[in-house]
Structure 1
Amino acid sequence: MVDCVTCKPVCKCDQPGAVCQDPRFIGGDGLTFYFHGKKDRDFCLVSDPNLHINAHFIGTRNENLTRDFTWVQSIAVLFGKHQLFLGPLKTSTWDDSEDRLSLAFNREPLYLPEKEGAKWQSRNAPGVSITRVSDSNSVTVEAEGLFKITAKVVPITQEDSRIHNYGVTKDDCLAHLDLRFKFYSLSNQVNGVLGQTYRPGYVSRVNVGAKMSVMGGDREFRTSGLFAADCAVTRFTGNKATSAEDSMAAFELPGLSCASGMDGRGVVCKR
């Protein structure tokens, strides 16, 4: 992306709401932290009364470390009475031109033409759409007034594996997702690994001065399955919040665009 204010290129993984790499998060407060979770487990990224997002983590184990190398392999988005799935297909040898993205809405598989700009629009949920950002492996998912998610399938290359000792094998390149989230109507009670950083008055509990600021909380954010909203901090009810005190959705907020990338309804830009 190009920032039209500074006329400089900006990576989506360096903007608020990003979840990329190992997994590296940039919270709604603009601070960067890591949440490693555990491989082959599911964790809650965002939980709000009408929105719940879980992530499935994959990974490998380095005998010299006490933790797994992990990546967000797929996500499930629950909103209202709807369910959305995004994730890559298992891939051995990576080819950028071959689409490896799997999509489903309310448990029904979705198929988009492999062409940039191709768009799917839900008939049962007006305002829900999926659009290809490129011919393959990259889409934008939007629920009008609720969220916008940019997702791209990326592999772990043999060179990355050699440098970091990830242990990638020839039959699995560990394809996973780089993500960026934008939210338009979160309540003041939002929680989850990423969601809590959007809460008014939130104070980060990570050591921001550390070389790698790591957030714990495996137990409080763990769910029993990718489509389960049963983490210890869950807020999901499936119904839209109606309390003016607890929900920003109760207000008609203006939309602004900030150079920092923290744009959206109700955002205030400061020089």
Structure 2
Amino acid sequence: MSSTTRTTCQSECLCDCNRPGAACQDPRFVGGGDGITFYFHGKKGQDFCIVSDSNLRINARFIGKRNQNMKRDFTWVQSLGILFDTHNLFIGAKNTSIWEDSNDRLSLGFNGEPIHLLDGEGTKWESMTSPSVTITRLLDTNSVEVEVEGNFKIKATVVPITEKDSRVHNYGITQEDCFSHLDLSFKFYALSGQVNGVLGQTYASNYVSKVKMGVVMPVLGGEKEFSSSSLFGTDCAVARFSGQFTEGNSLENLEYGNLNCSSGMNGRGVVCKR
């Protein structure tokens, strides 16, 4: 695996992994409603519901490696399946062995058709059938902003697991696959108070964090609760999606201030509070 490479998320990837609504690394989530950081490991090769609301469903496919000395998989988010209205969006990281920053490893699709987005910062795609859907490159390659007007905005960047990452955390990554995956940040414009999902639940009006504070790596369980049958499935136990906005109890245009974070990110976890 090439040693060129992984840029830091905060500066080059343009998705702030320490802000509410982030999902990065192994996957490390920052809760939108309370700003508390937690880990949700899931399982490799399975799909999990990240956000489920009346007119927004975001599922994530996890890839990973098993460490024989641990009882869980190392996992990362490889792709997103997004449902809204009667539409679906796909954002994914292509498999790759040798990583080069100049090679675009993003895969995009809308309503089952591939999106061909030219390289170059600022290049934009807009749906001909749904003008409110736009995708804009934030860097020349591998980083985009996806926005559905009045519903959500997602910044997604494809990043690899570097040799250093693998060595420090004992991931066991080989030259055959650098486990390219997505670092993500989310902004929501019209969530209801009943929203659910791994990240979505933290925006709900009655949410109380289940994360055990004061530990090195605060972990959230619920693999069965959030498991989905497919990337575009709507059948998890906390399903809310109907394809129409629910009137009332809206948490429109959620905005949060900076986070006060302690501890470090190098595999040990971060605890953040607004």
Which TM-score band (shorter chain)? 0.7 to 0.9
Q: What secondary structure, in the 3-state scheme, does the structure 2 residue paired with 1:201 have?
A: coil
Q: Which residue of 1 aligns with 2:26?
A: 22
Amino acid at match of 2:25: Q
User: What TM-score, normalized to structure 1?
Assistant: 0.88
Specify whether residues 152 and 233 from structure 1 end up closer, same or farther in structure 2 by C-alpha distance, changes over 3 A only.
same
Kept in 1: contact 2:39–2:217 (CA 8 A)? yes
Q: Structure 1 CA distance, aligned partners of 2:250 and 2:256?
A: 23
Q: Which residue of 1 aligns with 2:79?
A: 74
Amino acid at match of 1:247: S
Q: Does 1:247 align with 2:250?
A: yes
Please give the residue correspondences for 1:1-271 in structure 2 after superposition, counting only pairs within 5 Å. Answer: 12-28=16-32, 29-241=34-246, 243-244=247-248, 246-248=249-251, 259-260=257-258
Q: Name whichever of 206-215 and 176-185 sits farther off.
A: 206-215
Q: Structure 2 CA distance, aligned partners of 1:113 and 1:74?
A: 20
Runs of 4+ in 1 over 3 A off after TM superposition: 246-249, 255-259
Specify whether residues 36 and 238 from structure 1 end up closer, same or farther in structure 2 by C-alpha distance, changes over 3 A only.
same
- Pick 1 or 2: higher relative contact order, CA cutoff 8 A, min separation 6: 2
Q: What secondary structure, in the 3-state scheme, does the structure 2 residue paired with 1:193 have?
A: coil
CA displacement, residues 155-197 of structure 1 (integer Å, 9 cap, x when unaligned): 0011111111111111100000000000010011000000000
CA displacement, residues 3-56 of structure 1 (integer Å, 9 cap, x when unaligned): 9xxxxxx97000000000000000111000000000000000000010000000
Amino acid at match of 2:250: S
Q: Structure 1 CA distance, aligned partners of 2:255 and 2:172?
A: 41
Percent identity, please: 60
Note the residue ranges of structure 1 that are not aligned, 5 or more in a row: 4-9, 250-254, 262-270
Give the superposition deviation at 1:248. 4.0
Q: Structure 1 CA distance, aligned partners of 2:257 and 2:64?
A: 34
Q: Structure 2 CA distance, aligned partners of 1:126 and 1:145?
A: 12
Amino acid at match of 2:189: Y
Specify whether residues 108 and 168 from structure 1 end up closer, same or farther in structure 2 by C-alpha distance, changes over 3 A only.
same
Amino acid at match of 1:49: S
Q: What secondary structure, in the 3-state scheme, does the structure 1 residue paired with 2:89 have?
A: strand
Q: Structure 2 CA distance, aligned partners of 1:259 and 1:166?
A: 34
Kept in 1: contact 2:15–2:156 (CA 8 A)? no
Q: Structure 2 CA distance, aligned partners of 1:95 and 1:11?
A: 20
Give the superposition deviation at 1:64. 0.4
Cα RMSD (Å):
1.9
